[in-house]
Structure 1
Amino acid sequence: MTDAGAGQTVIRRLEPSDRAAWDGLWAAYLSFYKQELPAGVTDAVFARISGDGAHDGLVAERGGRLVGFVHYVVHETTWSIEPTCYLEDLYVDETLRGGGVGRALIEGVYAAARRRGCRSVYWQTHDDNARARRLYDQVAVLSPFVRYDHVFSQD
């Protein structure tokens, strides 16, 4: 994906051996979005993104240290014969933001989606996530769609 020279960002597939380093980034990601998840959910998420199913994960590495991740899922759609790709989670260590790591992770998803025959890649973020949106405005087109959620109670 990218060169492994000093200070360079390497984008590669998430591996089961990345769990400890991924846990720290995942905790920071959840904190950023003010979310808490039970340990069992985190375990299931990691199993999905490091397995061989529809979900997948890439990591960004610098100097042998994980500094970011992206999770995505390829799925069928009613609008095309080709599948599409939903970029579900993207996180970069806050000390490295603005340095190209996020862009490299997105480009890694683009490459993976092309290899899997996808028609497009899409994602969402909070409307007030200005820093991330500056990057997203450079690498994609803002959709006019509005999202609605209905969450089932856990009773």
Structure 2
Amino acid sequence: MPEPYIRTALPDDEEALGHLDRATWSYLHAVRPREQPPYEPFFNERFGPHDHLVAEVGGRIVGYVRLGFPTPLLSNAHVRQIQGLAVSDEVRGNGVGRALVRAVIGEASRQGARRITLRVLGHNTPARKLYESEGFVVEGVQPGEFFLDGEYVDDVLMGRGL
């Protein structure tokens, strides 16, 4: 598989990103039930195209990462947070997620952030291993924070300096 091309999302990417988001939905990473039609727009007041990096292979979007602020507080403005990551099943395991994580770390740094954080479900071993391999460390665990698909799941807080 060729290297993914990473770029900032465009307004015209909304339909493809919405489809990808719905196609990759799983309780492995989702804390809300599967969305049912009519679907909410992918972009909204809180997160627009400029808050997303997309991965393209062969001109087709195969992944995205969402970068935001963990809080609206000025005292927290030096921190960015990964608030969504999805990779198409057909390209998973080919470095697309890693390329997106590396790109979003670079973007956070370009924005002047000093730290980047994320939250990941405790049972999402593949994502946790990816984040750890890119320098993120567990900074806290909220045990049994979510009840998903019949089981209690930890919310794991991870972060790293920039």
Superposed displacement of residue 76, structure 1: 6.3
In structure 2, what is the equivalent of residue 133 of structure 1?
A: 128
Q: Where in structure 2 are there 5+ consecutive unaligned residues?
A: 147-162
Instruction: Give the aligned length.
Output: 141
| Counterpart-to-counterpart distance in 1, 2:16 and 2:72 | 34
Native 8 Å contact 2:69 2:77 kept in 1: no
Structure 1 pair 75–146 and aligned structure 2 pair: CA distance change class (3 A): closer
Taking only aligned residues, the RMSD between alpha carbons, in angstroms, comes to 2.9
Structure 1 pair 145–99 and aligned structure 2 pair: CA distance change class (3 A): same
In structure 2, what is the equivalent of residue 7 of structure 1?
A: 2
Secondary structure of the 2:139 match is coil
Structure 1 pair 69–81 and aligned structure 2 pair: CA distance change class (3 A): closer
Native 8 Å contact 2:22 2:35 kept in 1: no
In structure 2, what is the equivalent of residue 93 of structure 1?
A: 88
Equivalent runs, 1:101-120 vs 2, <5 Å: 101-120=96-115
Native 8 Å contact 1:77 1:84 kept in 2: no
Counterpart residue identity of residue 87, structure 1: I
Cα deviation 1:29-50 (Å, max 9, x = unaligned)? 334536234668832x513433
Q: Where in structure 1 are there 5+ consecutive unaligned residues?
A: 1-5, 151-155
| Counterpart-to-counterpart distance in 2, 1:75 and 1:124 | 10
Cα deviation 1:13-72 (Å, max 9, x = unaligned)? 1111011211111102334536234668832x51343356xxx11110000000001111
Which structure has more strand as a fraction of its residues? 2
Q: TM-score w.r.t. structure 2 length? A: 0.72
Instruction: Report sequence identity in percent.
Output: 31
Greater mean deviation of Cα atoms: 81-90 or 114-123: 81-90
| Counterpart-to-counterpart distance in 2, 1:9 and 1:136 | 18
Q: Does 1:46 align with 2:79?
A: no
1:121 aligns with one of 112, 116, 123: 116
Which structure has more helix as a fraction of its residues? 1
Q: TM-score w.r.t. structure 1 length? A: 0.75
Superposed displacement of residue 140, structure 1: 2.2
